[in-house]
Amino acid sequence: MKKLDKLIIKSFIGPFVVIFFITVFVLIMQFFWLWIDDFVGKGVDTTTIFKFLLYLSATLIPLALPLSVLLSSLMTFGNLGETFELVAIKSSGISLLRFMRPLFFVAVIISIGAFCFQIMSYRLRI
């Protein structure tokens, strides 16, 4: 792995984690906002609500992953372009596809992990 690959992956991981948790939170709040009238006034304790949110987040993770990959990759290349690192990379003769390759492999690994996570969640339902 070259230094350029490490630079791009390091600049991708930070925004990915933050955006992932933000998108999961937004999706949970969207679902919770729709069904809040069913929870209020039923005498449900907070541990039951937190268990429900935990199970709900397990179903919303496959929805949040593509959004977080897209937004964090846009942020990564935007930050690289803002600090003129993309210009330096292009002027050194490295093609666009070459310095996008590490994020492609990270996205493939994330998609395989999401697929395995989805299969495990379906097996646990049965």
- What six digits make up the tokens of 98? 């070459």
Is a pLDDT exceeding 90 seen at residue 33?
Answer: no
- CA distance readout (Å), 80 to 25, 65, 67, 97: 27, 22, 20, 15
**pTM as predicted:** 0.84
pLDDT at 120: 81
> 125 pLDDT band (50/70/90 cuts)?
low
Is a pLDDT exceeding 80 seen at residue 46?
Answer: yes
